[in-house]
Structures are given as structure tokens and as C-alpha cells.
Structure 1
Amino acid sequence: MKKLIITASAILLLQGCTTFDPYTGESKTTKTAIGAATGASLAAVVAYIANKDEDSNTRNKRILAAGAGGAAIGGGIGFYMDAQEAKLRKQLRDSGVSIQREGDKINLIMPGNIIFATNSANINSNFTEVLSSVALVLEEYNQTVIVVAGHTDSSGSAQHNQRLSEDRANSVAQFLRREKILSDRFEIIGFGEDQPVANNNTAGGREINRRVEITLLPIVES
């Protein structure tokens, strides 16, 4: 029930924040609305992490021991994430990737149409340079957990969409691992069609809903 409430509120928000393209006459969602509604996806990611069975402290200790200098972020967490966000914005300018900041969390929103072909989990060759740019920042700022979440529109069966969202999230995570990002830092999840940020009844809305999001969560002192 909680998931449905989040999703419904996101859709209502989007319906109230649409504009019309003066050239095509088609409705489109404003960037402000997309950013606000994507917060629902971020909330779902945070809830997922909070409810995992694995002891997160144990996982974080492994990450720190492997490559983050052995100490979690202390009082400088805001500065650390600010610097990381600035570097990501510089690297991803004009890439088609949106960057959302909420508190100490950073969310990278990657439209599915620029990463994958239709119904495919194979990363487009012209997007690999973008992901390599992301990897450079993730390697430098290594005191974060990386949550890779796949999302689809509602076309097709829910079972197919769930599998596709998982496969796409795994493809992105595997690419980043090959770029020497520590495996322990990753959490991978497919939300299928359950977290729309736009209206699935329109072609434009479905395009927005097909996406992969990378959420960066700082490792802080217990």
C-alpha cells in the first residue's frame, strides 16, 4: 500500500506540472515536475536499503577496508557529496543524464532510450563513454554505496518488465565493475513498472518512465 501511495502522489504531481510544446502541440512534463516525482523513486531506493537483511554496517566496513582509507565520512559529509556532485555535473554536461540532489544523496537519472535499444539490456556503444565518465567520479569518491535501479514503462506484462528492469540494472552495474569500481559498493534492484514518474498512457510519459537510476549514498560513521 505504501508503494502505491508514493506512485500515485508522483503521478498527481506530474499531471499538475505539464506544459505544451508550441511546435508539436504535445504535452510534456517540466523538469521541475520530473525532479520532484523522481524523489518517489529515491524514497523507494532508501526504503529498499533500510529493509535489506544484510547487516549494512558489515558491508560498509568491507568497502572502507578495501579502498576508502578505512574511515567513514565524518562531519564533512555535506562537503564530500557537494564536491562529488560538482564533479559529476561537469563530467555529465550535455550527456542526457539528469542529476538530482536530495540531502546527502545524489541520484543520476539515465533515460532508457539513450542507454538501450527497445526491449534490450545491451548498453548502446555511444553511451559507454558516459558511463566511463561516471566511473571516474565513483572511483575518486569511493565512500559511497551505489544503488543501481532499473525502471520500465507499463507496456507488456509485469513479469517481462520486472525481468527487463533487473537485466538493465545489472548491465549498468557490470559495466561499472569492469571500470574497476568495487563490487561490494553495489546494490542492484529492478522496480519493473512499479515506480512511474510520468503518465504511462502517453508515448512521452512511457519514454520518461524507461530509465536507470544510480543513487549514491554516503557511508557515514555509525
Structure 2
Amino acid sequence: MTLRISTLLAATGLVALGACAPTTGMDGMNTGTGTGMSRTQQGALAGAAVGAVLAGTRDSDRNNQGRDAARGAIIGAVAGGIAGNILDRQAQALQQSLSNPNIQVINRGSYLQVIMPEGILFATGSAAVSGTAQNDLYAVARNLNQYPNSRVEVVGHTDNTGSAALNADLSQRRAQSVAGILSAAGVASQRLIATGASFNQPIASNDTAAGRAQNRRVEILIRPTN
């Protein structure tokens, strides 16, 4: 029993590790995979491994565990493949709908990450979204309405210039401005969460102007709910 569980867990770990490294697809969009497999294929493999583990360890009578693990793998593969395929299609459709090439759409495997630099959205120190950026946010909203089974987290980020209180307030107001436009464009308010991360989640060094510019951003995290 212990050996079987260990084997199944090891297989799950290998699948997860194989799905971690990012790569760039043929269309230039970051697919978030490094295995040469689509998210559909990775989802199927991961689902199969998890399904096998759950089925193999939950058999109360310890009979036919190999058969139960195989059934669990099949069920998990189908569910994981469907989830992966939906994220693949949503990411591709979203990228194609955006007019500004500086907006990144990254498929993280279990969720989509949309990164919008400050320069696209706001004037310095402002939380008012520019007219041009509003068009892209409406495109994001249309995509979200086409794929309604998700939770949407809008997170504002700043660099470390200025006080912590100032940056906390600015990042929160910017996140709320973006979430407000998504809501006005028809995204159900109960799907939306707006938070300000201040300068606590940098993606580049705040020691350079270029790094600080990267850190000033709003991220839209699209997390499937089923």
C-alpha cells in the first residue's frame, strides 16, 4: 500500500515539474509551458496523475486498487484536459482582442495573468484610467463575459517611491478604477475583487528607473471557478 501511494505521488510530482517552465508559443504569446505541450495536454496529464492518486488511496476495501487508480486517471485526464483547453482558448482570444501590444497575457496553467503597465493606464500619481486604456479594458470585459466561470482579482502595484501609506492608497484606488470599468462593461460585481499591493510585490528592481516602471502596473488575475 505504502509503495503504491509513493509511486503515484512521485508520478504526480514529475508531471507538475514538467509543467513549470515557461515558453513562448508560435504566435508570440507566453503560454506558460516549457514542455512543448499545450495547456490542454498538460491539464490532462496533471488531472490523470491526481485522479490516480485520489482513486488509489481512497479505496476503503483495498481491492482492485490498480483498476480504481486507472479509472481515476481517466476521469482526472478528462477534467484536466477540459480546463486546460478553456484557458488556452480564453488566453488566445483575449490577446487577439487587445490593441496595445504592451499588455501581456500570460497563461499560468491554473489561471490567466493580464499585466497592464502604469504608462498605459494612468498619468503619474493619478487613478483615472486613460481613454485609450478604457478600450482595452472593455475588450477584457467582453472576454470575461464570454468565459463567465471565473473569479477576477484586480491588483494595483506601485514602485517604492514615496511613503508606504501613499503607495497603499494609490495602488488600491487604481485597482478599484480598473475593476469599476470592468463592472461598468458588464462583468458581474460579485466576480470582482480589487486590492492594492503597494510596492510589496515587485517584479523588477526598484533601484533603476526601468525597474520601477515595470513595478508600476495593474494585474488582472482570472481564476477559473470550475
If the length of structure 1 is used for normalisation, what is the TM-score? Answer: 0.65
Unpaired runs of at least 5, structure 1: 1-31, 36-73
The amino acid of 2:207's aligned partner reads: N
Distance in 1 (CA, whole Å) between partners of 2:147 and 2:219 is 18
Shift of 1:94: 3.9
Whether 1:209 aligns to 2:215 is yes
The Cα shift of 1:77 comes to: 1.1
Structure 2 vs 1, CA of residues 132 and 124 (structure 1 numbering), >3 Å: closer, same or farther? same
Structure 1: how far apart are the matches of 2:182 and 2:99? 19
Pairing of 1:32-181 with structure 2 (within 5 A): 75=79, 76-92=82-98, 94-181=100-187
Provide the C-alpha distance between the structure 1 equivalents of 2:100 and 2:127, rounded to a whole number of angstroms: 23
TM value normalised by structure 2: 0.63
CA distance in 1, matches of 2:101, 2:178: 16
Q: Cα distance, 1:93 vs. partner?
A: 5.3
Deviation at 1:141, TM superposition (A): 0.5
Q: Using the alignment, how far apart are the partners of 2:107 and 2:146 within structure 1?
A: 19
Change (3 A) 1:93 1:124: closer
Which stretch has the larger CA shift, 81-90 or 169-178? 81-90
Q: Percent identity over the alignment? A: 38
Instruction: Give CA deviations for 1:9-65 in whole Å, capped at 9, x if unaligned.
Output: xxxxxxxxxxxxxxxxxxxxxxx9xx9xxxxxxxxxxxxxxxxxxxxxxxxxxxxxx
Secondary structure of the 1:161 match is helix
Does the 8 A contact of 2:154 with 2:194 survive in 1?
yes
Q: Does structure 2 conserve the Cα–Cα contact (< 8 Å) formed by 1:95 and 1:130?
A: no
* 2:204 is aligned with 1:198: yes
**For 1:55-90, what per-residue CA distance to the aligned partner results, in whole angstroms no more than 9, with x for missing partners?**
xxxxxxxxxxxxxxxxxxx82211111111110111
Contact persistence 1:145–1:185 (CA under 8 A):
yes
Looking at structure 2, the residues matched to 193 and 163 of structure 1 have their Cα atoms a distance apart, in angstroms, of 11
Q: Which runs of 5+ in 2 are unaligned?
A: 1-29, 33-77
Contact 1:151–1:190 (Cα < 8 Å) also in 2 = yes
Deviant stretches of 4+, over 6 Å: none
* CA distance in structure 1 between the partners assigned to 2:105 and 2:114 by the alignment: 5
Instruction: Tell me how far 1:162 sits from its aligned partner.
Output: 0.5
The structure, 1 or 2, with the larger RCO (C-alpha pairs under 8 Å, 6+ apart) is 1
Q: Cα RMSD between the aligned structures?
A: 1.8
Compare CA radii of gyration and give the structure with the larger one: 2
- How far is the alpha carbon of 1:91 from its aligned partner? 0.9
Describe the superposition over 1:125-168 as per-residue Cα deviations: whole angstroms up to 9, x where unpaired. Answer: 12111111111101100001000000000000011000100000
Secondary structure of 1:86's counterpart equals helix
Q: CA deviation at 1:95?
A: 3.5
Contact 2:156 2:198 in 1 (8 A): yes
Matched residue SS, 1:119: coil
